[in-house]
Each structure stands twice: as structure tokens, then as C-alpha cells.
């Protein structure tokens, strides 16, 4: 019987291929949406795991988390350096690492920070060592630059009219191990060098803080700023620490984390759990996923209805063949199995091909997003997907029954006379 079914499908291979592709494309949409949404959730959650608490100036929680954790370019308001001094001395804090943004090199963010954050992100470097002088840098795992190469930072980006800093060229001293986060494509330099490069160290002498310091630095950028690139690194933060956009904080205990979050949510500062911000973003992402899945299911219903209609018409066109089988003594169950088996095999093949196409599409989208953000987004099947596959199988079984029942209603004598 299987041989008869396969031979019959080969006779109508053009129609069979069309049915398989229609089913495959509709199934692929559902699979791609489900896998891609899960990949974004897993990738972003794993990227945020390394950052327990972020403290910045009062403003947008989402903007603070995206800028400090995922290094998305956006202007953050600056907060007083006294916040960093206080956090660095707090017995509840095991790590308080400032981060300074604004510069880039070859389209990659240049981030001012400390050796403590480098060690937290990559306890063991892939090669080289951490920076020990102001003119040195450590690059992420995905930065295609060799050790010893020099980096000329640019204020802003080339597509926004940024200008190259001529006061310093960072020499790459080390490379971090892969972290699966946006920091894999970042260039980490001493925060003190960033302060000097933007004239931030002068705020105590001239009374400027935050954006005012950057503005005054820009006015006399070419002739007053001097960066001591060969100066030894000093990571002690005391009185007079310049303004900063954010501090990445690692509390000692979970209780300390919640107390610090509450303490630094004030009129001038904001403390957020990156995972908490992501949860709210996931809610929006989940709404979009539900909408796309509804569209995919609607598409599948239309495809199934069209295939069912075509199959019933196909059974009508083959009534002489079916009548001949009945006239030669083929039992009703054999005719039912042949008609049912042909459509079921087509639907099953379409589902299998759709799952493959959907998985490949999700992999391609994840690879594109990872190349742009450096956040690894794993495309994985979960136990919940098994129920989706079973649902596809049940639908295929039920849909295949309809044309088989239509075939049984044909009278052998009437079919042969047609």
C-alpha cells in the first residue's frame, strides 16, 4: 500500500510539491516567531546576569539599563561623582565600577571604566593583560584588533559628525574572553583617561559639573586639554571625582541589593535592576509575539482550508481510479487508507520542512542581531514546542480524514460510468 501511495504521489509530483511548500511556509512562520522571541529573551537575560544593579542620574530606567548594560548609544544625564565615592566606600558593595560613554572607534563603543569591571566581566583574559596606564585599553572578544594596535577614539560617531580625539591613542594591552554580552564588541579604557580627554577633571576648579563640563571642554578642546597617556593608573576615587553617567554595582547580598536600590532612587539618582527593566520589555515583546502567532495561525487555517478544497476536488477528478479499485475488490479500508495516507504524508512532509525552515530563519535573524549587538541569542527548542508539534500532527490527521471519507461515498458503478 505504501508503494501505491508513493507511486501515486510521483504521478502528481507538481501538486504534491505545491501542497508541501504551502504547509511548510505557514508552519515556518509560527516556528520562527516562537524561536526568535525565546532567543531574544534568553540572550538578553543572560547578558544582564553579569550586572546586578545600575545607578545613574534620575531619568529613564529603560534608557539607563540599555546604555549601561547593552551599550546602546544614547545621551545619559550625568550624576555627581560623589555618588561613586559613596558607593566605593559602602560596606554593602563588593564592586562599584563607573562607566563613561560618548566615544567610539571603528563603530565600536569606547567605554571608560576600571580594571575591577574588566575582571568581573572576564576573570581570565583570552590574551594579554589589563590596562595599567591611561593610554592603554582592553578589547572585547569580538573586536578584530591585535594586541599592540593603537586606537584613535572619536567623540560620538562618524555618521553623526563626530570628531577624532588627537590628544591620545590607546594601545591595546589585552583581550577579554567571550562573555556573550554587548561588551564583547566594546573597547574598555581607564575612566580617568576619558575624564581627562573631555576636560572632566577641571570641574572642581571651574565649578562645572555634568554636561556643563563637557560643554566647556568642547570650547577649548584643541589647545587646553592634555592627557597624560603614560601616567600610571590610580583607581582610588576620593573627593572631587568628576561627574559620571552610570555606576555598575555588585552588592554583597540580595538584601543589600534591594536596600541599595531603594536608597538610590531619589530626586537626583536612579537605581535599577536590569533584569527588572527587561521584564517590562518582555511584556511588550510578548504582545508582539502573540499578534504574530495569531497571524501565523490564521495563515495556517487559510492554507489548510485551501488544501482541503483542492484535495476534495482532486478526489473527484480521480473517481474513475477509485471506482476501479473498488470494482477489483479493494476493501473500503484500503481505499480510505490510500486517500488518507497521501494527504497525511504531504502535510507531515510540509510540517517537517516548515520546522526546518523556521529554525533556519530564526538562526539567521539571531546571527544578524548578534553581529549588531554582540549579545548571543541561542535558538533552542523547548519542551513546550512538543505540544505545538503534536497539535500539527492532530490537525494533519483530522484534515486528511475529510477527503478519505469523500472517497468512500463514491459509488464504484457510478464512478466507472463517469
- Please name which of 250, 278, 271, 246 lies closest in space to residue 44, comparing C-alpha atoms: 278
Where among 272, 296, 328 does a domain terminate? 272
- Alpha carbons 289 and 33: distance in angstroms, whole number: 7
HSE, side-chain direction, 13 A CA sphere, residue 123: 1
Residues 100 and 147 in one domain: yes
Residue 395 sits at the vertex; the CA angle it makes with 390 and 396, to the nearest 5 degrees, is 95
Grid coordinates representing 195 are 575624564
Among 272, 299, 327, where does a domain finish? 272
Phi, psi (5° rounding) for residue 154? -120, 135
Query: Which of these three, 221, 255, 272, is where a domain ends?
Result: 272
Smallest Cα–Cα separation from 122: which of 186, 60, 45?
186
In this prediction, residue 91 carries a pLDDT of 94
Q: How far apart are CA 92 and CA 122, in angstroms?
A: 23
Quick one: pLDDT at residue 3?
Answer: 63
Return the residue matching grid coordinates 501505491: 4
Element (H, E) at 347: helix 332-373
234 lies in the same domain as 116: yes
The helix-helix angle for 2-11 and 13-48 (nearest 10°) equals 100
Q: Both 62 and 12 in a single domain?
A: no
Examine the domain organization and report whether 15 and 58 are in the same domain: no
Q: Environment class of residue 314 by beta-carbon count within 10 Å: exposed (0-12), middle (13-18) or buried (19+)? A: middle
Q: How far is CA 252 from CA 16, 91, 204, 249, 317, in A?
A: 63, 9, 32, 10, 76
299 and 241 part of one domain: no
Looking at the structure, tell me whether residues 102 and 203 fall in a common domain: yes
Residue closest to 367 by CA, chosen among 28, 35, 12, 20: 35
User: According to DSSP H, which parts of 76-232 are helical?
Assistant: 81-89, 115-121, 191-197, 203-206, 211-219
Residue 308 structural domain: 2-45+280-417
Within this chain, do residues 84 and 202 fall inside the same structural domain, yes or no?
A: yes
What pLDDT was estimated at residue 155? 74
Do 233 and 373 belong together in one domain?
no
Residues 260 and 284 in one domain: no
Each residue's pLDDT expressed in tens, for the chain with a length of 418 residues: 566 566 666 777 777 788 888 888 888 888 888 888 888 888 888 877 888 899 999 888 888 988 888 888 777 888 998 999 999 999 999 999 999 987 888 888 999 999 999 999 999 999 999 998 888 999 999 899 999 999 888 876 555 556 677 778 899 999 999 988 889 989 999 999 888 887 765 444 333 334 444 444 444 444 455 667 677 676 777 777 888 999 999 999 999 999 999 999 998 999 999 888 887 777 766 666 677 777 777 877 777 777 777 776 666 656 666 656 555 555 667 777 777 888 888 888 888 999 999 999 999 998 888 877 777 888 988 887 888 788 888 888 888 887 777 766 655 555 445 5
Position 287 scores a pLDDT of 65
Q: Do 299 and 392 sit in the same domain of this protein?
A: yes
Is the same domain home to 384 and 410? Answer: yes
Our count of domains for the chain comes to: 2
Q: Note whether 225 and 95 are same-domain residues.
A: yes
Instruction: Give, in order, the Cα–Cα distances in Å from 277 to each of 45, 65, 181, 255, 272.
Output: 10, 7, 16, 19, 7
Select from 392, 88, 409, 393 the least CA-distant residue to 248.
Answer: 88
* DSSP-assigned states of every residue in 79-91: B-HHHHHHHHH-T
Model pTM?
0.70
Amino acid at each position: 500500500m505504501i508503494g501505491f501511495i508513493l507511486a501515486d504521489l510521483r504521478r502528481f509530483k507538481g501538486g504534491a510539491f505545491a501542497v508541501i511548500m504551502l504547509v511548510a511556509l505557514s508552519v515556518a512562520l509560527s516556528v520562527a516567531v516562537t524561536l526568535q522571541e525565546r532567543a531574544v529573551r534568553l540572550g538578553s537575560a543572560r547578558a544582564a546576569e553579569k550586572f546586578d544593579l545600575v545607578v545613574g542620574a534620575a531619568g529613564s530606567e529603560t534608557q539607563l539599563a540599555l546604555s549601561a548594560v547593552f551599550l546602546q548609544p544614547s545621551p545619559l544625564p550625568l550624576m555627581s561623582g560623589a555618588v561613586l565615592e559613596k558607593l566605593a566606600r559602602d560596606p554593602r558593595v563588593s564592586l562599584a565600577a563607573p562607566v563613561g560613554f560618548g566615544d567610539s572607534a571603528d563603530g565600536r563603543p569606547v567605554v571608560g571604566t576600571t580594571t575591577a569591571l574588566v575582571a568581573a566581566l572576564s576573570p581570565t583574559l583570552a590574551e594579554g593583560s589589563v590596562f595599567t596606564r591611561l593610554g592603554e585599553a582592553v578589547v572585547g572578544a569580538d573586536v578584530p584588533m591585535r594586541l599592540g594596535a593603537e586606537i584613535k577614539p572619536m567623540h560620538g560617531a562618524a555618521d553623526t559628525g563626530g570628531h577624532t580625539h588627537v590628544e591620545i591613542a590607546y594601545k591595546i594591552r589585552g583581550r577579554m574572553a567571550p562573555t556573550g554580552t554587548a561588551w564583547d564588541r566594546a573597547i574598555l579604557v581607564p575612566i580617568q583617561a576619558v575624564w581627562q580627554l573631555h576636560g572632566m577633571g577641571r570641574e572642581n576648579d571651574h565649578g562645572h559639573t555634568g554636561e556643563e563640563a563637557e560643554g566647556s571642554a568642547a570650547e577649548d578642546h584643541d589647545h587646553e586639554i592634555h592627557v597624560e597617556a603614560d601616567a600610571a593608573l590610580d583607581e582610588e576615587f576620593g573627593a572631587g571625582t568628576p561627574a559620571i553617567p552610570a555606576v555598575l554595582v555588585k552588592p554583597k547580598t540580595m538584601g543589600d541589593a534591594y536596600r541599595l536600590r531603594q536608597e538610590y532612587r531619589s530626586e537626583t539618582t536612579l537605581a535599577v535592576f536590569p533584569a527588572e527593566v527587561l521584564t517590562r520589555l518582555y511584556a511588550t515583546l510578548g504582545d508582539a509575539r502573540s499578534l504574530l502567532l495569531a497571524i501565523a495561525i490564521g495563515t495556517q487555517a487559510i492554507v489548510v482550508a485551501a488544501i482541503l478544497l483542492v484535495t476534495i476536488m482532486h478526489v473527484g477528478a480521480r473517481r474513475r481510479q477509485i471506482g476501479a479499485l473498488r470494482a477489483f475488490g479493494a476493501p473500503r479500508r484500503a481505499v480510505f487508507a490510500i486517500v488518507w495516507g497521501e494527504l497525511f504524508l504531504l502535510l507531515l512532509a510540509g510540517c517537517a520542512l516548515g520546522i526546518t525552515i523556521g529554525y533556519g530563519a530564526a538562526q539567521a535573524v539571531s546571527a544578524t542581531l548578534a553581529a549588531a549587538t554582540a549579545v548571543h541569542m541561542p535558538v533552542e527548542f523547548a519542551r513546550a514546542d512538543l505540544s505545538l508539534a503534536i497539535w500539527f500532527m492532530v490537525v494533519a490527521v483530522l484534515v486528511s480524514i475529510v477527503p478519505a471519507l469523500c472517497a468512500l461515498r463514491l459509488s464504484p458503478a457510478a464512478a466507472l460510468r463517469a
